[in-house]
Amino acid sequence: MKKCLALSGGVGGAKLALGLSKILAPEELTVIANTGDDFTHLGLDICPDLDTVMYTLAEVSNRELGWGQAGETWNFLEALSRLGGETWFRLGDRDLATHIARTSKRRQGASLSDTTRELCGSLGIEYPLAPMTDDDVKTIVHTDNDQTLSFQHYFVRDRCEPRVTGFHFEGIENAAPSLTFIAALEDPELALIVICPSNPFVSVDPILELPGVMDRIGSTPMVAVSPIVGGQAIKGPAAKMMNELGMPQTATAVAEHYVQKYGCALTGFFVDTEDAPLQADIQALGLETIVTNTVMVTLQDRIDLAQQIMDFANRL
């Protein structure tokens, strides 16, 4: 059995995770989600990436919004607004159930991994989905006015408007990968690690920079799917960040970022057909470069990309 470990941020990663789940059995796939952008808001523990992956795998995600649950309503938020509460973070009525159930379980002593397992079980998800860590790691965004912002304040409240100069992951030096993450990394049958098309700086880096992760990856083949297509991010601020960090807004620059940081393990890089002209440049970085459709609009797109990735793994 060839086992696969998918590392995911939010929407883009969740789409590929769903595709992988359609062609792999539950014992062949583990999905680990970034928790660097988790935060406590209105007293509730909120895990945006973990929830996006969970809702996507449970097929209850809101496709129009790209976050939250399908058929969402907003009466809580409307009432909170009347009470003068903070409404910049859009908590839907259904979505609230997740945050309240999770916060309640965690206050009673359950770990984030435990609560995630329970929530996934209730939603009928058969695939192991776990947070990257059960410890507190907070993605902090540095901005050009020498300020720092917590990720959700940067991302949602300030709509990614501040110019970024860098990032750090508060608490990461004392954080351990979750037990599910460690078990997947140490599984002798692990054949492939997939870096999903997520934001390299704020979704993927926190996962791979956790102490002990790269050591455990060792020589396990790792592939990445570019989140940048034709110079744009499919979703989110990755391209804007690259520009502000002085990087070209290209799939090549994403590949360079990964090679510099995680070079020895990275084997293959998937770019969209639109970026076919970049293939030679990326090959020159020492990466086998696969040109295919990486823009996942339909479920079949997700499955096709997942299949291409597993075909690549089988050729190794």
Could you tell me the smallest distance in angstroms from the CB atom of residue 57 to a copy of itself?
15
Q: What are the tokens at 222?
A: 């790792």
Site map (CB under 8 A) of a copy of itself, residues 23-52, x = contact: -------------------xxx--------
Least distance in Å: CB of 299 to a copy of itself? 22
CA distance 133 to 90: 25
Structure tokens at 100: 């309240």
Verify binding: residue 281, a copy of itself, rule CB under 8 A.
no
User: Are 127 and 113 spatial neighbours (Cβ–Cβ below 8 Å)?
Assistant: no
Q: Which H helix or E strand runs over 206?
A: helix 205-208
The pair of three-digit structure tokens given for residue 107, joined into one six-digit string? 């206050």
Stretch that binds a copy of itself, among 12-20, 88-96, 237-245, 302-310 (CB under 8 A): 88-96
Can you tell me which of 59, 73, 159, 316 binds a copy of itself, judged by CB under 8 A? Answer: 73
Is residue 191 packed enough to be buried (19+ CB in 10 Å), middle (13-18) or exposed (0-12)?
middle
Beta carbons of 194 and 309 less than 8 angstroms apart: yes
Name the β-bridge partners of 290: 270
Nearer to a copy of itself, 84 or 246 (CB): 84
Among 23, 80, 110, 182, binds a copy of itself (CB under 8 A): 80
Q: Is 182 exposed, middle or buried (0-12, 13-18, 19+ CB in 10 A)?
A: middle
Of 54 and 241, CB closest to a copy of itself: 54
Q: Assess 117 for contact with a copy of itself (CB under 8 A).
A: no
Name the segment binding a copy of itself (CB under 8 A); options: 71-79, 127-135, 220-228, 251-259. Answer: 71-79
Shortest distance (Å) from residue 50 CB to a copy of itself:
14
Question: Could you say whether residue 77 binds a copy of itself (CB under 8 A)?
Answer: yes
C-beta closer to a copy of itself: residue 116 or 133: 116
In the stretch 90-109, what mask flags binding to a copy of itself with x, by CB under 8 A? --xxxxxxx-xx-xx--x--
Other Cβ atoms less than 10 A from the Cβ of 169: the count is 19
Residue of 64, 84, 145, 315 interacting with a copy of itself (CB under 8 A): 84
Q: How many alpha carbons lie under 13 Å from residue 98 in its C-beta half-sphere?
A: 27
| Count of residues that interact with a copy of itself, criterion CB under 8 A | 32
- Find out whether 134 and 113 touch, Cβ atoms under 8 Å: yes
Q: Rounded to whole angstroms, what are the CA distances from 141 to 2, 9, 44, 49, 52?
A: 37, 16, 22, 17, 21
Going from the C-alpha of 97 to that of each of 8, 113, 155, the distances in angstroms are 23, 17, 23
Amino acid at 128: P
Q: How far is the CB of 52 from a copy of itself (least distance, A)?
A: 16
Q: Min. distance of Cβ 33 from a copy of itself in angstroms?
A: 18
- Of residues 121 through 180, those in contact with a copy of itself by CB under 8 A are 122-123
CB atoms within 10 A of CB 245: 15
| Contact pick of 33, 119, 129, 223 for a copy of itself (by CB under 8 A) | 119
| Distance in Å, CB of 104 to a copy of itself, minimum | 4
Q: Which residues bind a copy of itself (CB under 8 A)?
A: 42-44, 69, 72-73, 75-80, 82-85, 92-98, 100-101, 103-104, 107, 118-119, 122-123
